[in-house]
Structure 1
Amino acid sequence: MRKTKAEALQTRESLLDAALEVFYQRGVARASLQEIAKTAGMTRGAVYWHFKNKEDIFDALFQRQFSGTREKQLNEDIITGTTDALTTLQQTTAQKFKQMAHDRAYYQFFHVIQLNCEYTDDNQTISRLLQKYRREWHDHLQTVFQLCLQQKSLPQNTDITLAALYFQSLMLGLTDVWLSNPQQFDLDDAAERLIAVAIDTLRSSPHFAKKPPAEQQNDSPLTA
């Protein structure tokens, strides 16, 4: 009997849940479609009905986490200037860390991409997918900081590329340190305070000012 659209969507979600569990327990490189099917209580054919391969599943997990209605609305509010971009960035980033600390699936997802996504020859396609999503995050941060310049919540001479690199690096570092030992500190409190420090630093540190073009050229090792 042919499945309804709702049943097909539920099967797909169950497979993604199973894949997340397998990636979390085994690591992405060592996970197999057979294991994912078994964990979901389904056949391998069911996996292939919904996904082309393991890379397609990995990509779908990203889409599920970051393409929800609420996520899209928040991004749209930031980009269109409906909200104060810097304040919204601060609040939404803190909320993501809170979710990571209290939502098992969210925690597992970040554990997978931070600690279980091995950079091996057999895992190159997935590694490139991870790099693609991090580039997109960096580009999104640059867009947010550009809007902050328009809203005058950051100094007008702010180097938005450096600002995006700083903010992304701090958030990745905090995530990595906490995931390595979640018991070592309260993530809710640490994230809220460190994000506030990062925002204050972006507002006040002279080191985020753009360098003159001549100075940038002199700094490049390619010009030596």
Structure 2
Amino acid sequence: MVRKTKEDAELTRQKIVDAARTVFLARGVSRSTLEHIASQAEVTRGAVYWHFKNKTEIFHAIREQVFLPLIDRMDDTLAISADNSQNPLDQIEASMCSTIQALNDNIEMREIYEIMMIKCEYVDEFALVLHQIMNNCSSLVEKIEATYARAQSQNLLASSITPGALALDTHLFFGGLLHMWVKDADGSKFRYQAIDLIKSHIKLRRK
């Protein structure tokens, strides 16, 4: 009975998160209320408050659905192989391409990226969210820098630019590409060539 209650609670929580994604996408985060989310989820406002203290917590829950898997995927892709035989530049390229492929394949992921990038104003209670996003970005840059450092140690880089500078450049390139990918709804400008753009970006670094 207790297990069933926990399962029901988790189902309700996920229903609220899914409803919030729909509401945020349609109205924008700032114009969405807990009442809108409760109505979309077909639950009471009290049920929403049982699971989430406020709208910011719901936003975090939505974001974690894509960001945590992204971190895991990057960790797996950029990890040093057991025999150290993987080309580090191939690993960086693959980490970006896999994100684009996931966006192509997963409508939920596309919607969440759209909310994060163009449907949310990071002000007031969401100012802290922006700070956390920036911290997460720093962590990603560090992972990419370590991979460029391996490429440098293997004499694979065409440039004498430091791994740190290369990592920051790659991070900014990919962040910009993701923003334009999300905005390119009909796929006529960036989506169709995103993989080729990534490969060109890494090719400029190859010796």
TM-score, reference length from structure 1: 0.75
Partner of 1:78: 78
Deviates more, 1:89-98 or 1:2-11: 2-11
Q: 1:159 aligns with which of 153, 158, 162?
A: 162
1:118, 1:127 within 8 Å by CA — same for their partners in 2?
no
Q: In the alignment, what sits opposite 2:127?
A: 124
Paired position in structure 2 for 1:4: 5
Quick check: 2:20–2:37 contact (8 Å CA) kept in 1?
yes
Aligned partners of 1:144 and 1:6: how far apart in 2?
A: 41
Where does residue 105 of structure 1 map in the other structure? Answer: 108
Q: What is the letter of the counterpart of residue 130 of structure 1?
A: I
CA distance in 2, matches of 1:67, 1:84: 25
* Partner Cα separation in structure 2 for residue 152 and residue 13 of structure 1: 48
Return the match for 1:91 from 82, 94, 98: 94
Residues 133/39 of structure 1: CA separation in 2 closer, same or farther (3 Å cut): farther
CA root-mean-square deviation: 2.8
In 2, the alpha carbon distance for the partners of 1:143 and 1:156 equals 16
Q: Distance in 2 between matches of 1:16 and 1:151?
A: 45
Give the gaps of 5 or more residues in structure 2: none
Instruction: Point out where structure 1 has 5 or more consecutive residues left out of the alignment.
Output: 205-224
C-alpha contact (below 8 Å) 2:117/2:179 kept by paired residues:
yes
User: What number of residue pairs does the alignment pair up?
Assistant: 203
| Residues 1-224 of structure 1 mapped to structure 2, 5 A cutoff | 3-68=4-69, 72=72, 75-76=75-76, 78-82=78-82, 83-154=86-157, 157-185=160-188, 187=190, 189-204=192-207
Q: Using the TM superposition, give the Cα deviation of residue 190 of structure 1 relative to its aligned residue in structure 2, in angstroms.
A: 0.9
Contact 1:33 1:47 in 2 (8 A): yes
SS of corresponding position for 1:4: helix
